[in-house]
Amino acid sequence: MSRAVVIGAGPAGLMAAEVMADAGLAVTLCDSKPSVGRKFLMAGKSGLNLTKDEARAPFLTAFTDRQAPLRPMLDAFDASAVQDWARGLEQDVFTGSTGRVFPKAMKASPLLRAWLGRLAGKEVQINTRWHWQGWHKGALQFDTPDGRQTLSPAVTVLALGGASWARLGSTGAWADILRAAGVAVVPFAAANAGLSVNWSPHMQKHLGAPLKGVAWTSGPYRSRGEATLSERGLEGGGIYSVSRGVREGHGVSVDLLPDLTVPEITARLSKSRGKASLSNHLRKTLSLTPAQIALVQEMARPLPAGLRATARLLKALPIVHTGLRPIDEAISTAGGVSFEALDAGLMLCDMPGVFVAGEMLDWEAPTGGYLISACLATGRWAGQHAADWVAHRKI
């Protein structure tokens, strides 16, 4: 029986391992952490968003300039397939009002347990605390609790993640190994990252408050989603989805009233204010929350003269910030192995028998199910093509 090694036990690596085991390969899965799927578990801490149940075109659009290379993989394992896969692990799913798909259990742990149980039934061997060090005389080399170990598989799938959340295993250290081997690796950058803001003291009582029902814009990127006023700035899906625009040098603004037009807001503000303060007038006429009003006062003090000017400001409030949060705090990273270094099956062109999957690849996508979907899809694709490569070579 031919031997396959998968390095990295996140969603992409687990999927590749299962596909290759189904194809009859003896699979060994190696991970540097004491347990597998740590980032997967963290992603599901507040609700595991597996995929986005929407039409093919808008789903692919979320992957911006990487639609072309990812299209065949996402078509082969689309949102419906992701849901069927979860149900196959006896994890029922449901679709929320925005199209986001979650397991009914919400958390990642039941799904991961079921998945690991199925892999155990397929005799996938899992080695934890195995730190990959590259190749030595053609063999994979690992630092392990039992000292230096080497493996010489017929085929290898690398699924080591990006460079965010190092404490969960995604350190990006593999980039130096691959660059030394002559592989083109695009430098990492923060993706789906929060925004750093130096708040004034008057914002302290609002920290922790959510900003709901708003829309964010940065350059060509727009997202209608929630964010939270955190001690260090702005966090949450809404701001993460436009962080690429910030990284590309665009400003960022928030529409506090996306369901109202400037004339409609102006008309509401025209109502008699009486002795009410401006804050109370904004609250009563526009249903702005204290946190939203505080944000307006923080970012645009003093307010512009004239009701229409105020209305326009509420539709596009500029956010003064000091940049994105550090890469290790980002949900994911841009950069990674260039698609130009890979063939159509995700095998490294200059390293036959070595395939790459998941966040190691140079793509990025917003949160909302796109990230996990693409990790699963690329893991499946790499695993299938790795198994086919072994079969054709009769190794």
Residues forming beta bridges with residue 148, ordered by sequence position: 143
pLDDT of residue 44: 75
pLDDT of residue 395: 61
Give the integer Cα–Cα distance in Å for 256 and 131. Answer: 47
Number of Cβ within 10 Å of residue 81's Cβ equals 17
For residue 80, what are the contacts with CB-CB under 8 A and spacing of at least 6? 53
Q: Measured at the alpha carbon of residue 65, what is the angle toward residues 60 and 71, in degrees to the nearest 5?
A: 40
On whether the CB atoms of residues 239 and 195 are closer than 8 A, the answer is: yes
Give the integer Cα–Cα distance in Å for 191 and 197. Answer: 17
Residues forming beta bridges with residue 141, ordered by sequence position: 134, 150
Amino acid at 248: E
Closest CA to 222 of 239, 236, 234, 205: 239
pLDDT of residue 277: 87
Q: With both helix axes pointing from N to C terminus, report the angle between 307-315 and 262-269 in degrees, rounded to the nearest 10.
A: 130
Give the integer Cα–Cα distance in Å for 218 and 250. Answer: 6
Per-residue b/e over 96-133, b at no fewer than 16 CB within 10 Å? Answer: eeebbbbbeeeebbbbbeebbebbeeeebebbeebbbe
What are the sequence ranges of the domains in the chain?
Answer: 3-190+332-393, 195-318
Q: Is the whole-model pTM more than 0.85? A: yes
SS3 content of the chain, % helix, strand, coil (to 5): 40, 25, 40
Return per-residue pLDDT of the chain as tens, 395 residues.
789 999 999 999 999 999 999 999 999 999 999 999 999 998 878 789 999 999 999 999 999 999 999 999 999 999 999 999 999 999 999 999 889 999 999 999 999 999 999 999 999 999 999 999 999 999 999 999 999 999 999 999 999 999 998 899 999 999 999 999 999 999 999 999 999 999 999 999 999 999 999 999 999 999 999 999 999 999 999 999 999 999 999 999 999 999 999 999 999 999 988 888 888 999 999 999 999 999 999 999 888 889 999 999 999 999 999 999 999 999 999 999 999 999 999 999 999 999 999 999 999 998 889 999 999 999 999 999 999 999 998 76
pLDDT of residue 182: 96
Give the integer Cα–Cα distance in Å for 35 and 272. Answer: 62
Amino acid at 170: S
φ and ψ at 145, to 5 degrees? -60, -20
The hierarchical CATH code for the domain 3-190+332-393 is 3.50.50.60
Per-residue b/e over 187-205, b at no fewer than 16 CB within 10 Å? Answer: ebbbbbbbbbbebeeebee
- Token pair in block for residue 312: 């326009």
Give the integer Cα–Cα distance in Å for 124 and 262. Answer: 60
